[in-house]
């Protein structure tokens, strides 16, 4: 058996040249690759066997994986990633899939935190459609998590990575089988159903549990159980119920919590029978929401808060200092103001007779002395307490960009550019531009805060690059404009190397 590392960039597998590492899992790595015959970009998933797996077990693993790849290749659904090809080259087994540059649901959650109910429902509906279709064809996924949901350029959510999927037996159930021979668990601890942890039988309701965990994460911005030790996380899945969200996020009604609780029941018999049934219950639960859908984005926190629910829902909370936005006085809709007490009204009327002449005299004085002296022009504020902080933050944005480039984390590097850059430069072109770079040593020359709130960062980049004539050293002088876009600091524009 050949033990592989992820340093396969530049290697040709069959007719596919691996150009950049775009993802890595427990037993596989995904590369951006060019299909030489058709001159198109695809995603190639290379199997990375466990170091402790012997040759006979590895061969069994390859046979089973090839069989399952053929089975999954037969799934034709708008929300399931198709498999183009399967092959083995010089002992390296690989799968070929379409390359989707839209990122993953994990990227969305990392960028935005919690999602509003309506958006979460849209994603759940598509995920449920894919799961019910796969289940109907005897396939269970068993590793549902945000990073396995890809975003198609047309906006669709697409389920990928059936790498540890299992074909159901005639009775609709399948036994958990560990392929590594080391007792390692196949799956992701933060999302695993209790029966998977215990090594019991799994079926379609195992996917329902994991989908419930994904729903919880979409509405809260975090998984329900976390910890440094995987064993501790697994024990929580076995023993503790998923926390209730409506206590920390008023935009999540108790009925939605009830859907999550049923989906993540410890006993699979108590869960929904299908993903479609979960979706329908979620729709019904959303109709019980106290706040309009438009207000959910305003109230959704990016992390779970630790404060108790307010006893007076009309009072300000720690989520936001503003009152509930449905109140006319807050949103500015026409409405009659509550009358003041008579004594207050009388006192204010008496003060008004004195205030009017005073205001008149002050205004006349302003005209005589000169408006610029009464209201002097405020010069541009020098770089004060916030100036250095903004400059340092913008400097870090540029430095982190080059750190991602040096680590060949092209997806993270690409995400640091703003929307205007993405509209003119697709991901493939971006990777092509940097794929020959061995390392970039960046030195920040100066930073300047601009009047529009952005920061200009001037940098010198010493680049070590591979060219047709060999390795060369180049020096670039770059100017970047860093600013806030969608609540995230990004490189708005600048020179692309």
In-domain check, residue 199: yes
pLDDT above 80 (res 187) = no
In tens, the pLDDT along 214-249 reads 999 999 999 999 887 788 999 999 999 999 998 888
Do 157 and 56 share a domain, yes or no?
no
List the single range of 13-27, 330-344, 359-373 with lowest mean pLDDT. 330-344
Do 70 and 17 share a domain, yes or no?
yes
Q: Give residue 28's pLDDT.
A: 77
In tens, the pLDDT along 312-321 reads 333 333 333 3
Do 71 and 126 share a domain, yes or no?
no
Of the chain, the percentage scoring pLDDT greater than 70 comes to 70
pLDDT above 50 (res 377) = no
In tens, the pLDDT along 128-159 reads 999 999 999 888 998 899 999 999 988 899 99
In-domain check, residue 448: yes
Query: What domain count does the chain have?
Result: 3
Do 421 and 468 share a domain, yes or no?
yes
In-domain check, residue 360: no
Provide mean pLDDT across the span 461-478: 83
In-domain check, residue 176: no
Q: Give residue 251's pLDDT.
A: 83
Do 91 and 111 share a domain, yes or no?
no
The answer to whether residue 295 is catalytic is no
480 or 304, greater pLDDT? 480
In-domain check, residue 6: no
Provide mean pLDDT across the span 194-200: 90
Do 83 and 136 share a domain, yes or no?
no
pLDDT band at 47 (very low <50, low <70, confident <90, very high): confident
Q: Give residue 269's pLDDT.
A: 94
d(CA 268, CA 203): 9
Mean pLDDT score across all residues of the chain: 75
Do 135 and 26 share a domain, yes or no?
no
pLDDT above 80 (res 478) = yes
Q: Give residue 186's pLDDT.
A: 63
Q: Which of 247, 274, 299 is the last residue of a domain?
A: 299
Do 62 and 127 share a domain, yes or no?
no
In tens, the pLDDT along 267-302 reads 999 999 999 999 999 999 987 654 433 333 333 333
Provide mean pLDDT across the span 154-183: 56
Q: Which of 253, 269, 299 is the last residue of a domain?
A: 299
pLDDT above 90 (res 64) = no
Q: Give residue 497's pLDDT.
A: 54
d(CA 183, CA 180): 7
In tens, the pLDDT along 404-448 reads 888 888 877 888 888 888 777 777 777 777 877 888 999 999 999
In-domain check, residue 41: yes
CATH of the domain at 58: 3.30.200.20
Q: Give residue 362's pLDDT.
A: 54
Do 120 and 23 share a domain, yes or no?
no
351 or 156, greater pLDDT? 156
pLDDT band at 480 (very low <50, low <70, confident <90, very high): very high
Residues 275 and 131 sit within 8 Å (Cβ to Cβ): yes
Q: Which residues span the domain enclosing 251?
A: 105-168+188-299
Do 201 and 245 share a domain, yes or no?
yes
pLDDT band at 50 (very low <50, low <70, confident <90, very high): low
Do 472 and 401 share a domain, yes or no?
yes
In-domain check, residue 93: yes
pLDDT band at 487 (very low <50, low <70, confident <90, very high): low
List the catalytic residue out of 143, 207, 257, 440: 143
């Amino acid at each position: 058996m050949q033990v592989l590392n992820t340093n396969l960039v530049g290697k040709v597998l069959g007719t596919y040249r691996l150009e950049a590492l775009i993802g890595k899992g427990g037993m596989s790595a995904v590369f951006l690759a060019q299909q030489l015959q058709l001159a198109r970009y695809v995603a190639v998933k290379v199997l990375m066997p466990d170091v402790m797996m012997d040759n006979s077990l590895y061969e069994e693993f390859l046979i089973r994986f090839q069989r399952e790849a053929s089975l999954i290749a037969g799934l034709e659904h708008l929300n399931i990633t198709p498999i183009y090809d399967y092959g083995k080259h010089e002992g390296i087994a690989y799968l070929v899939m379409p390359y989707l540059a839209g990122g993953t649901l994990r990227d969305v959650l990392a960028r935005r935190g919690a999602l509003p109910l309506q958006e979460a429902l849209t994603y759940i509906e598509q995920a449920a459609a894919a799961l019910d279709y796969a289940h109907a064809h005897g396939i269970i996924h068993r590793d549902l998590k945000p990073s396995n949901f890809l975003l198609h350029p047309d906006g669709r959510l697409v389920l990928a990575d059936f790498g540890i999927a299992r074909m159901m037996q005639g009775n609709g159930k399948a036994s958990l089988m560990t392929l590594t021979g080391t007792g390692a668990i196949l799956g992701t601890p933060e999302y695993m159903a209790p029966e998977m942890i215990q090594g019991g039988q799994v079926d379609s309701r195992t996917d329902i549990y994991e989908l419930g965990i994904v729903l919880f994460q979409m509405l809260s911005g975090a998984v329900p159980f976390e910890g440094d030790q995987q064993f501790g996380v697994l024990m929580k899945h076995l023993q503790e119920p998923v926390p209730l969200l409506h206590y920390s996020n008023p935009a999540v009604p108790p009925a939605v919590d009830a859907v999550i609780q049923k989906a993540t029941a410890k006993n699979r018999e108590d869960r929904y029978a299908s993903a479609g049934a979960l979706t329908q219950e979620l729709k019904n639960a959303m109709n019980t929401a106290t706040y309009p859908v438009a207000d959910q984005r305003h109230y959704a926190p990016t992390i779970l808060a630790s404060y108790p629910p307010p006893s007076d829902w009309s009072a300000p909370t720690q989520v936001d200092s503003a009152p509930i936005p449905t109140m006319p006085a807050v949103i500015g809709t026409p409405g009659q103001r509550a009358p003041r007490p008579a004594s207050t009204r009388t006192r204010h009327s008496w003060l008004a007779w004195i205030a009017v002449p005073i205001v008149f005299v002050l205004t006349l004085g302003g005209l005589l002395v000169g408006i610029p002296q009464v209201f002097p022009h405020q010069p541009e504020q020098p770089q004060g307490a916030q100036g250095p902080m903004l400059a340092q933050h913008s400097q870090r944005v540029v430095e982190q960009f080059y750190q991602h480039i040096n680590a060949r984390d092209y997806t993270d590097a690409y995400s640091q550019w703003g929307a205007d850059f993405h509209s003119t430069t697709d991901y493939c072109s971006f990777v092509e531009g940097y794929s020959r770079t061995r390392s970039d040593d960046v030195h920040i020359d100066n930073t300047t805060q601009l009047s529009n709130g952005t920061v200009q960062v001037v940098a010198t980049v010493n680049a070590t690059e591979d060219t047709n004539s060999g390795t060369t050293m180049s020096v670039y002088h770059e100017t970047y404009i860093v600013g806030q876009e969608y609540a995230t600091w990004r490189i708005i524009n600048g020179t692309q190397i």
